[in-house]
């Protein structure tokens, strides 16, 4: 009886962990593609800045700002991540505004700030990620909790 119960428990835990791993893989592939788009768009900002095309610059900055409002952007759902996102969006919005004002110096400064907030968020994410990776797959209690609260 005890054995059967244990076997059922084990298969539940493994089943759940497999499902979660698959879901995680799917999610991270979508996230990676999204992050690549973000990279491409930010590179195009530099292009617009370099050729002093303010129209293009503001359109692209606004597009990048809009990306931060999408569900895929929220790869991590914590208040800290939201704060990083907010900081990033502020800088992108400042860039869009500088472009509308046709202010090249302000736009260049805003572009540097945008780049700094890319790096800041990644620094934050990497610290978080390694901590999460250490805990999640190996701790069945946490897994069980994750299944229950899902």
Region near ligand HEC per CB under 6 A, out of 5-13, 47-55, 73-81, 100-108: 73-81
Q: How far, in Å, CA of 63 to CA of 55, rounded?
A: 12
Helix, strand counts (H, E) of the chain? 5, 0
Any contact of residue 85 with ligand HEC (CB under 6 A)?
A: yes
13, 118, 144, 147: which one contacts ligand HEC (CB under 6 A)? 118
Q: Helix or strand or coil: residue 113?
A: helix
Query: Do 64 and 45 touch, CB atoms closer than 8 A?
Result: yes
Region near ligand HEC per CB under 6 A, out of 4-12, 53-61, 80-88, 101-109: 80-88
58, 84, 96, 111: which one contacts ligand HEC (CB under 6 A)? 84
Any contact of residue 54 with ligand HEC (CB under 6 A)?
A: no
- Closest distance of CB 143 from ligand HEC, Å: 22
What are phi and psi for residue 76, nearest 5 degrees? -125, 130
Q: By rule CB under 6 A, what string of x and - marks binding of each residue 119-138 to ligand HEC? A: --xx--x---x---------
Q: How far, in Å, CA of 31 to CA of 105, rounded?
A: 33
Residues that bind ligand HEC (CB under 6 A): 31-32, 35-36, 38-39, 42, 75-76, 81, 84-85, 88, 114, 117-118, 121-122, 125, 129
């Amino acid at each position: 009886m005890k054995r059967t119960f244990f076997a059922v428990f084990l298969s539940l835990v493994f089943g759940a962990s497999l499902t979660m791993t698959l879901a995680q893989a799917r999610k991270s592939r979508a996230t990676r593609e999204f992050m690549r788009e973000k990279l491409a768009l930010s590179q195009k900002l530099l292009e617009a800045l370099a050729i002093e095309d303010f129209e293009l610059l503001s359109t692209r900055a606004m597009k990048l700002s809009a990306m931060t409002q999408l569900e895929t952007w929220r790869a991590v759902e914590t208040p800290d991540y939201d704060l990083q996102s907010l900081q990033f969006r502020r800088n992108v919005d400042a860039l869009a505004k500088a472009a509308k004002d046709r202010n090249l110096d302000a736009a260049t400064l805003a572009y540097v700030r945008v780049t700094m907030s890319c790096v800041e968020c990644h620094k934050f994410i990497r610290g978080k990620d390694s901590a999460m990776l250490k805990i999640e797959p190996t701790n069945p209690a946490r897994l069980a909790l994750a299944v229950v609260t899902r």
